[in-house]
Amino acid sequence: MDNVEIRTFRASTMHEALALVRREMGPDAAILRTREVRARRWFGLLPGRPEIEVVASFGVNVPSRLPAETGTSSPSRRPPAEGGLSLEQPAPETRALILRAAHAGMEVQQKLENMEHMLRSLCRRAGSSGLYDWPEPLFRVYADLIDADLSEEDARELLERVRGESLRDRMDEPMLIKARLARILESELAATQPIRLTPGRCRVCALVGPTGVGKTTTIAKLAANFRLRENRRVGLITMDTYRIAAVEQLRTYADIIDLPMRVVSTPREMQEAVRSFETLDLVLIDTAGRSPKDDIKIRELRTLLTEAAADEIHLVLSSVAGTKALLQTLERFRTVRPTALILTKLDESPSFGGLLPVLRAAGLPLSYLTNGQNVPDDIETAQPARVARLILGMEGLVKEPHA
């Protein structure tokens, strides 16, 4: 068994695959297995073209399945070995050993092929992006950033900034590189103060955004915290007359927390509702979810908020939405002139790297983060350092207390 050789060949057709076997291993090679496979592209995520895979052996006593070469006479049958066993028909225990060896060899071959494919893919990407001259720890951090869902462009841009700064002589420590990345990102992320109330003045704050991002639950969390923890006088206004369930949900929270609540659907009703709450410390406005594609509804929303004379307008975005959808939402809701961003459903998102281009494009500070459904808990004021670490995949989602 020392001379047993098992190899795997792939080609577009069976004829080409067998020709490869014959050329590389000779006409006496034995075919152990054939199957149709599909090559993988982009780190194994995308299917490629179908291929024929042939696993062949040389040096084992099994009959060759290769067709005889044209013009070549068939080899004479070998005489039986001692004991009456033909070399073309090995003993059962020998066949079992051969099959085990073939199976193990195919597994190793498959792993090697997968590693080769991944390395080739990385090298192609590195060659096109100038990564060949990066130190190995820097390239490892690059791979981690891609795994955290950052785009290749954002990952390269951040790491090139690190290379150009004071860590040029400390590129052998990935954790130090990541810490520097976090500080760089923290410096460009903006966070506003949470809602601040002034004694003797009513502050009006509205939450806007698409359907299903968690506006009503976030309103309830804010209202409960200001009323129960800070003992402030809070009023609720809802414009979400499209969904009866949303109105009833907010009314339930208002009854539990003991807050006054008004339902409005016209600009005049909005004026009257805000006027009736002018002696309170804070008025929170829950708006109906608007599709980013519905310009008419978004203009109606702007009209109602203008009548409310809102001091703050927080655009609520779901962290589980895709980057493209978030950018589209951001662009369409600019017409209502938001003053801050709230990120919700952090507990449902596996990674946060896709938020970076959104936060950069927004030009707006973050105000709050929400990470669950519990009222009044599962809400925290946004801190640039924490958001930076989440984006870079440097920490799991640990719930911070509301501040």
Could you tell me if residue 34 is inside a domain? yes
Residue with the bigger pLDDT between 39 and 89: it is 39
From 43, 58, 73, give the residue that closes a domain: 58
Report if residue 171 sits inside a domain.
no
Q: Is 335 within the bounds of a domain?
A: yes
> What is the spatial distance between Cα 302 and Cα 149, in angstroms, rounded to a whole number?
34
In this predicted model, what pLDDT tens digit does every residue of 242-267 receive, in sequence order? 566 667 888 888 888 899 999 998 89
Going by pLDDT thresholds of 50, 70 and 90, the confidence category of residue 237 is very high
209, pLDDT greater than 50? yes
Beta partners for residue 58, in sequence order: 5
Q: b/e map of 57-76 (b: 16 or more CB within 10 Å)?
A: bbebbbebebeeeeeeeeee
* pLDDT tens by residue, 298-335: 888 888 899 999 999 999 999 999 999 999 999 989 98
Assigned domain for 137 exists? no
- Determine, yes or no, domain membership for 143: no
Query: Cα–Cα distance between 343 and 189 in angstroms, integer?
Result: 14
pLDDT band of 60, cuts 50, 70, 90 = low
Number of domain units in the chain: 2
**Quick one: pLDDT at residue 395?**
73
* Structural domain ending residue among the three candidates 25, 40, 58: 58
Higher pLDDT, 191 or 41: 191
Model pLDDT for residues 121-179, shown as the tens digit of each residue: 555 554 445 554 667 778 888 888 988 889 889 999 998 888 777 545 566 778 888 88
Task: Quick: pLDDT tens for 182-194.
Answer: 999 999 888 887 8
How far is 360 from 374, CA to CA, in rounded Å?
30
Q: Tell me the helix, strand and coil percentages in the chain, rounded to 5.
A: 45, 20, 35
The mean of the pLDDT values for the chain is 79
Burial class (CB in 10 A: 0-12, 13-18, 19+), 201: exposed
Asked, for residue 277, whether it belongs to a domain, the answer is yes
In a domain, 325, yes or no: yes
Q: What is the span of the domain harbouring residue 26? A: 6-58
pLDDT band at 97 (very low <50, low <70, confident <90, very high): low
Determine, yes or no, domain membership for 278. Answer: yes
Query: 86 pLDDT band (50/70/90 cuts)?
Result: very low
Last residue within a domain, chosen from 58, 75, 99: 58
Query: d(Cα 103, Cα 55) in Å, to the nearest integer?
Result: 10
Q: How far apart are CA 181 and CA 389, in angstroms?
A: 9
pLDDT value, residue 104? 62
Long-range contacts of 63-68 (CB under 8 A, 24+ apart): 63/30, 63/88, 63/89, 64/27, 64/28, 64/29, 64/30, 64/31, 65/30, 65/31, 66/18, 66/21, 66/22, 66/27, 66/29, 66/31, 67/18, 68/27
Helix, coil or strand: residue 315: strand
Q: What is the CATH number of the domain that holds 350?
A: 3.40.50.300
